[in-house]
Structure 1
Amino acid sequence: MRKVYCAVTLSLFAAGAFAQNVASINGKSIGNKEFMWFYKKNHLGSGAAAYAELETYLHQYINFKLKVLDAKEMGLDTDTAYLSEVKNYELALAAQKRIAKTSPAYQLLMNEYKEAALMFNVSEIRIWNKAQNDENQLRNFYEQNKNTYLPAAFEEVKGKVIADYQERLEKEWINTLRKKYTVKINQNEVKKLAKL
């Protein structure tokens, strides 16, 4: 009887814990406070949003988190240049004395910086360098999609070809990450956050 009670209590606790989260990736929660902090920061401080808008942003945020997870799996979070960059940011933030190191906002800012730097570093490896440095792949992409660029020759539209190729690489990367990691979205919590 005690085992059943413990199992039920754990299930209810897990369900309650998930209720405070908009999503999870491989069991790691994305809390509604964290999500809304980022949403407001990227939408001029406004938290008023329709459900569809929040859902769209949540998918973008999940993609961001997946890239960060990929960067960590590659060990980019242990790179000395990255660690030095994070330390310098932390020192600059402390020097401003606008926000206490113990405040939740400080933790969100530090986490945002760390993750943004990782996302930038992994994107450089997975997308930007490939698109900039592999002329053969670019030409192949151009040939496969020639109708999009007609009547222009490759050299005339190279910048557009690079941008389109980067977009394709990113879509493929995100698809791979979404297959690799378990993503769960708590639609009920997203609906609760919707204001319009």
Structure 2
Amino acid sequence: MIRIINNSFTSYHKLQEGKGAGYARWAKNFNLKQLSQTLIYLEENNLLDRSVLEERTASVTAQYHTLSANMKSAEQRMAEIKVLQQHIINYAKTRDTYIAYRKAGYSKRFLLEHESEIILHKAAKQFFDEQGLKKLPTVKSLQAEYTQLLSEKKAMYADYQKAREDMRALQTAKANVDRILGDNSLTEEIETEKNR
């Protein structure tokens, strides 16, 4: 994996902090190794043209962000399904108790005996009303949707990892190329620092 090349500005500051000539030699050697790794990467991937490198970096970054958004969307829907399933199960388990509570004329004594079940039933009913659900989906259909989303997410994950790895490598190579070819401000900052 290639890393950002240490620039001479950083080396200059390290020398000012008391680092010796040994550090300067090490930094130059390290920078040359990083430069060679960057050039090898660019040659292997046919990215020697700067515009091609920038275009490829932008497309891979966009692909990464799209995959990331799709995975987050699937995760969010899976969480919604889990909550809905739990409310449906609670509603089904407590339905008979709530019907008996209504038939008892909303008796306080009945409420005290079955308080937890009635609270669960009311919470489930409130959730369905808030979601605007008139007809409840079956737990089986929700489980099928959850399984499908999970398999899609697993399939996307391999592409997501590859896109993330490619994006990081391309962004690092692009940053190295930008430092080598296009950033004259570093040299100006060093000269300004020397003149102080």
Question: For the pair shown, which has the larger CA radius of gyration, 1 or 2?
Answer: 2
TM-score when normalising by structure 1: 0.25
* Richer in helix (by share): 2
TM-score when normalising by structure 2: 0.25
